[in-house]
A and B are shown apart, each in its own frame.
Chain A
């Protein structure tokens, strides 16, 4: 029955460009609907006063009903406004435009006959739900495997590159240009449940959801992906235009570059013409307008280990080096943790080590006192101590030797020197060459 009504609607839409009377019809239909809803709410309020002991169950049902109706009204309102779009375009673009496709795309066709009005409170499956059939089918084919399972396909996994078609050179006129309105682009959901009105981004997710409404939605036919009717006919390539005037992606631009899919339109519009409202919680600096971009960024955020002396960080070394090449006087900064590690790990580590061997030798304390007056760097004291042979005699049986304090530049001959009976008369002046 519903399919039939849609077809009827499509038939009806074939006649019109933009029909003020049709618009009027739509608006009055909406007004009627709002009134009906108003009555329903009055009724609920009235009943509430009477029966307090009623089970919550009913209340929930009523609430659901009201929500669904409201959603439906909103969708139709948006669609009505959007109906201006194809009519404008049709006057401009070539006559090749298939009206059927136009209807399919725009989804703005509202029952101009009484039939639609007679539908009454029953939610319509007009407009919105049908709108994005095209991008949907694209998505589903790429996710064929997921479709039968219960996984909800997440939007951000399929972040289309708006520039994907950059290389393609379609001659003007060989393709059809379609343009969505801003509101439509920004609508969070494009598929709505005809029963409860819940919105979905994907048709496949909607079909999964529908199973909860009854066994008739569980048949393979109902769950199957809607087949393309146009498969037999030669398809006309469709490209999209951004509604923002002056944008390069807008069809009025001199060097117009069309967008390939509706997803491209959405991402492009959000990235280029909307506020960047998503802020990375880690760095609190990077902002995004597409949530998928934020998620991509968050994967890499905090890994910017390449730091310039000016404070700018880079995730990649080549980016840092490009930056340094560009800006006079900037140098790469050496991470501060290395500063801490280097003295402890390498040079001072060595002296500490020796120092620890030294500490039980009696001369050390007196020696370092002498030194400390003249040494101003921390490592220096240890190093000066390091000149003295760190022999630990207690482990050996050569006992009896002990070291004498020496100034730091003294030749650090070991204590064995005094064993030689002859005194050293090696020329003290041979220190140079």
Chain B
């Protein structure tokens, strides 16, 4: 570095400095640019890379060989991984191609994401758990077939601290007991939708894993008995009890006396919980940071409000669906000054005056959800904008009385705004969008059903909001090709776009969409003007496209689908219902798109039964979910249905 005479460019930096620079790069795209600079930079990348998310399983052996220092491996996008692959990876993939040191890559691995790895079973899991001695975090959520044997396999990873088993439907108390005994260091455990779980399992867990800090038992049919056991966890900070139908106020009384470290509790949608139950919780835990009580309170009672006065540290409160009075807002704002997020979705009694009182003291508010608070007008929005300068997210879906005046205030004061939901706010017009476009940090904008906006309004967004990555234009019938042109020129980061029922959009518009290289999620239902040409432009341009919904795009011909089959290699979900696709094109799409997991194939008027049969055969090893026209149930061969069933594919008949 000191040898100025040799070269003064960045290449003369020493390795350790390059590593430091590399570590400062936060965004994945920046790292990608970094490693494409030169061989040396690429070497730095391979040496220092810690995290890898694999999209195409066929590259997995090479990648594992190339990145020997991996600590975190995400295989959630490779649902085809199974026991055989794991066995091969562990026996053959060493640091050098010719010197197979068994499973070297696994030695340093700390985190493993196997979400939706439905092909994996206990033998593969057990091999992985044994091969990774440092494993601390495992995610096997949405592996619906997982049960006790898989849990037993996981329990051999004794150092496990975090485990996510959401929707492992076969898991019972026995499997949980295996984990509780085997992984006693567990700190974070999520058991959402593990419907077989009972109080016995939770009780044992609480006795064996005393270090638990995070426990989510949402949607389980556990009773107050479980809460009694949970109350004994001294280190528990986060407790998720969402939609537990058998839990009631008596159970929350245990929580009042237990869980001394509790910071976050979620009792939303618990039918049995009333405000008296919440009073117990609030009374026992003055230091509560987050209280989520959405859709379980009919009314924010004065007794509860009285107790809430003590929650001086409260940062997040959600009381969706409750009746709330103006004076309540005053009490909240006077006492809970550190509030960062408040959820009032579908609350009754939310008025301009109430909101004004709330924001007068809660100036740190960053997230505000006022969905379906119909009586909100520009006055309230102005007050919010004026007081809460650090507002990041505002949801005002179907608040019809908001007009450009309110948006003007937001555009003037809330310059940090990143997300705004204006769905079904028919008061929003082009002028309003112009004001809103001053929020240059905006990344998520929802304008569904805003029929008063046109191409002009969209062009303001395209011109100013360059960071936008999600845009919803559902049924914005005023939007046409010109608006999309402006959008594609500015919003290059767009990842998710909804154009459904924007009837004016034609092939030219889709051509502009094709310029959005980051686009991964495109919904374009019932665009009657588009043809195969438009679809081809999208397929060629949007290389990252993963989810495509083109229901009712009847004019798209086979040329478009062929292009789709050829170019959109990353497509994971597709909806082709009511499209004019032919047998041949369908087989191409289903057979060629090797990452396809979900397909909706209803009412394909140009397809024969044989065509659908062949298409299904072409994709049956990887497809996970398929929706078919109901009469086909008896017309398709039983063989293919059996194969699909055996591979774990879910068929929905419509």
Q: Is A389 located at the chain interface by the 8 A CB criterion?
A: yes
Bound together, the chains give a CA A114 to CA B82 distance in angstroms of 98
Interface residues of B in 552-586 (CB under 8 A from A): 562, 565-567, 569
Contacts of A415 in B (CB 8 A): 591
A338: nearest chain-B partner, CB-CB: B149
Bound together, the chains give a CA A167 to CA B621 distance in angstroms of 67
Instruction: Return the contact of B637 from the options A334, A389, A395 (Cβ within 8 A).
Output: A395
- Tell me whether B646 and A321 are in contact (CB under 8 A): no
Q: Is B54 located at the chain interface by the 8 A CB criterion?
A: yes
Contacts of B12 in A (CB 8 A): none
Q: Which of A5-13, A147-155, A240-248, A372-380 contacts B (4 or more CB under 8 A)?
A: A372-380
- Tell me whether B637 and A411 are in contact (CB under 8 A): no
Chain B at the A interface: mostly helix, strand, loop or mixed?
helix
Instruction: Return the contact of A379 from the options B56, B62, B83, B639 (Cβ within 8 A).
Output: B83
Instruction: Return the contact of B91 from the options A376, A388, A412, A431 (Cβ within 8 A).
Output: A376
- Tell me whether A409 and B204 are in contact (CB under 8 A): no
- Tell me whether A331 and B588 are in contact (CB under 8 A): no
Q: Is B378 located at the chain interface by the 8 A CB criterion?
A: no
- Tell me whether A377 and B621 are in contact (CB under 8 A): no
- Tell me whether B82 and A383 are in contact (CB under 8 A): yes
Interface residues of B in 121-178 (CB under 8 A from A): 121-123, 145, 148-149, 152, 155, 173-174, 177-178
Q: Is A390 located at the chain interface by the 8 A CB criterion?
A: yes
What is the minimal beta-carbon distance from B330 to any residue of chain A, in angstroms?
49
Bound together, the chains give a CA A419 to CA B173 distance in angstroms of 52
A387: nearest chain-B partner, CB-CB: B621
- Tell me whether B60 and A409 are in contact (CB under 8 A): yes
Which of A330, A342, A347, A412 has the largest number of chain B CB atoms within 10 A? A347
- Tell me whether A431 and B178 are in contact (CB under 8 A): no
Contacts of A329 in B (CB 8 A): 181
Instruction: Return the contact of B588 from the options A321, A380, A419 (Cβ within 8 A).
Output: A419
Q: Which of B283-291, B350-358, B612-620 contacts A (4 or more CB under 8 A)?
A: B612-620
Q: Is A138 located at the chain interface by the 8 A CB criterion?
A: no
Interface residues of B in 589-610 (CB under 8 A from A): 591-592, 594, 610
Which of B52, B53, B123 has the largest number of chain A CB atoms within 10 A? B123
Q: Which of A24-32, A291-299, A349-357 contacts B (4 or more CB under 8 A)?
A: A349-357
Contacts of A347 in B (CB 8 A): 82-83, 119, 121, 145
Bound together, the chains give a CA A397 to CA B567 distance in angstroms of 26
Bound together, the chains give a CA A413 to CA B647 distance in angstroms of 18
Contacts of B639 in A (CB 8 A): 357, 392
Q: Is B88 located at the chain interface by the 8 A CB criterion?
A: yes
Bound together, the chains give a CA A321 to CA B197 distance in angstroms of 13
Mask of B291-305 contacts with A, CB within 8 angstroms, 1/0: 000000000000000
What is the minimal beta-carbon distance from A190 to any residue of chain B, in angstroms?
46
Contacts of B83 in A (CB 8 A): 347, 377, 379-380, 383
Given contacts A347-B121, A353-B643, A420-B562, contact A334 B149 (CB under 8 A): yes
Given contacts A321-B177, A324-B181, A374-B88, contact A416 B58 (CB under 8 A): no
Q: Is A408 located at the chain interface by the 8 A CB criterion?
A: yes
- Tell me whether A321 and B173 are in contact (CB under 8 A): yes
What is the minimal beta-carbon distance from B395 to any residue of chain A, in angstroms?
29
Mask of B49-64 contacts with A, CB within 8 angstroms, 1/0: 0001111111111110
Contacts between chains A and B (CB distance < 8 A), count: 186
- Tell me whether B63 and A432 are in contact (CB under 8 A): yes
A342: nearest chain-B partner, CB-CB: B149
Given contacts A331-B181, A375-B84, A419-B588, contact A411 B149 (CB under 8 A): no
What is the minimal beta-carbon distance from A211 to any residue of chain B, in angstroms?
56
- Tell me whether B618 and A342 are in contact (CB under 8 A): no
Contacts of A318 in B (CB 8 A): 200
Q: Is B207 located at the chain interface by the 8 A CB criterion?
A: yes
Contacts of B181 in A (CB 8 A): 324, 329-331
- Tell me whether A354 and B646 are in contact (CB under 8 A): yes
Given contacts A380-B83, A390-B617, contact A357 B152 (CB under 8 A): no
Contacts of A65 in B (CB 8 A): none
- Tell me whether B174 and A332 are in contact (CB under 8 A): yes
A409: nearest chain-B partner, CB-CB: B58
A397: nearest chain-B partner, CB-CB: B610
Instruction: Return the contact of A389 from the options B149, B174, B565, B618 (Cβ within 8 A).
Output: B618
Q: Is A52 located at the chain interface by the 8 A CB criterion?
A: no
What is the minimal beta-carbon distance from A318 to any residue of chain B, in angstroms?
6
Bound together, the chains give a CA A415 to CA B618 distance in angstroms of 9
Given contacts A390-B643, A431-B55, contact A379 B588 (CB under 8 A): no
Bound together, the chains give a CA A338 to CA B150 distance in angstroms of 12
The size of the chain A interface, using a CB distance under 8 A, is 63
Bound together, the chains give a CA A430 to CA B545 distance in angstroms of 13
Q: Is A433 located at the chain interface by the 8 A CB criterion?
A: yes
B620: nearest chain-A partner, CB-CB: A390
Bound together, the chains give a CA A61 to CA B173 distance in angstroms of 68
Which of A330, A380, A382 has the largest number of chain B CB atoms within 10 A? A380
Q: Is A414 located at the chain interface by the 8 A CB criterion?
A: yes
Instruction: Return the contact of B84 from the options A342, A346, A377 (Cβ within 8 A).
Output: A377
Bound together, the chains give a CA A395 to CA B544 distance in angstroms of 35
- Tell me whether B55 and A416 are in contact (CB under 8 A): no
B201: nearest chain-A partner, CB-CB: A321
Bound together, the chains give a CA A37 to CA B163 distance in angstroms of 85
What is the minimal beta-carbon distance from A291 to any residue of chain B, in angstroms?
34
Given contacts A324-B177, A331-B177, A357-B639, contact A374 B91 (CB under 8 A): yes
Bound together, the chains give a CA A379 to CA B182 distance in angstroms of 26
Q: Is A317 located at the chain interface by the 8 A CB criterion?
A: yes
- Tell me whether B610 and A396 are in contact (CB under 8 A): yes
Q: Is A325 located at the chain interface by the 8 A CB criterion?
A: yes
Instruction: Return the contact of A346 from the options B121, B173, B619, B637 (Cβ within 8 A).
Output: B121
A306: nearest chain-B partner, CB-CB: B174
Q: Is A111 located at the chain interface by the 8 A CB criterion?
A: no
Q: Is B587 located at the chain interface by the 8 A CB criterion?
A: yes
Q: Is B92 located at the chain interface by the 8 A CB criterion?
A: yes
Given contacts A416-B618, A433-B53, contact A350 B587 (CB under 8 A): no
Contacts of A409 in B (CB 8 A): 57-61, 85, 88
Q: Is A391 located at the chain interface by the 8 A CB criterion?
A: yes
B62: nearest chain-A partner, CB-CB: A431
Interface residues of B in 603-649 (CB under 8 A from A): 610, 613-614, 617-622, 637, 639, 642-643, 646-648
Q: Is A410 located at the chain interface by the 8 A CB criterion?
A: yes
Contacts of A382 in B (CB 8 A): 84
A326: nearest chain-B partner, CB-CB: B207
Contacts of B569 in A (CB 8 A): 426
Q: Is A169 located at the chain interface by the 8 A CB criterion?
A: no
What is the minimal beta-carbon distance from A403 to any residue of chain B, in angstroms?
11
Q: Is B87 located at the chain interface by the 8 A CB criterion?
A: yes
- Tell me whether B88 and A408 are in contact (CB under 8 A): yes
Q: Is A381 located at the chain interface by the 8 A CB criterion?
A: yes
Instruction: Return the contact of B87 from the options A338, A377, A424 (Cβ within 8 A).
Output: A377
Bound together, the chains give a CA A380 to CA B82 distance in angstroms of 8
Bound together, the chains give a CA A280 to CA B77 distance in angstroms of 56
Q: Is A92 located at the chain interface by the 8 A CB criterion?
A: no
Bound together, the chains give a CA A278 to CA B543 distance in angstroms of 78
Instruction: Return the contact of A331 from the options B178, B203, B566, B643 (Cβ within 8 A).
Output: B178
24 A-B pairs with CB atoms under 8 Å apart are A317-B200, A321-B173, A325-B204, A334-B148, A334-B174, A346-B121, A347-B82, A347-B119, A353-B642, A379-B121, A380-B87, A383-B82, A387-B621, A389-B618, A390-B643, A391-B617, A398-B614, A409-B59, A424-B566, A426-B569, A431-B54, A431-B59, A432-B54, A432-B55
Residues of chain A whose beta carbon lies under 8 Å from any beta carbon of chain B: 317-318, 321, 324-325, 329-332, 334, 338-339, 342-343, 346-347, 349-350, 352-354, 357, 374-377, 379-384, 386-392, 395-398, 408-417, 419-420, 422, 424, 426, 428, 430-433
A sample of 19 more A-B contacts (CB under 8 A), given A379-B84, A412-B594, is A325-B204, A331-B177, A342-B121, A342-B149, A350-B648, A383-B83, A386-B84, A387-B80, A388-B621, A389-B620, A390-B617, A396-B613, A409-B88, A412-B622, A422-B566, A424-B566, A426-B567, A426-B569, A431-B54
Q: Which 4 A-B pairs have the closest CB atoms?
A: A431-B59, A414-B591, A383-B84, A380-B84
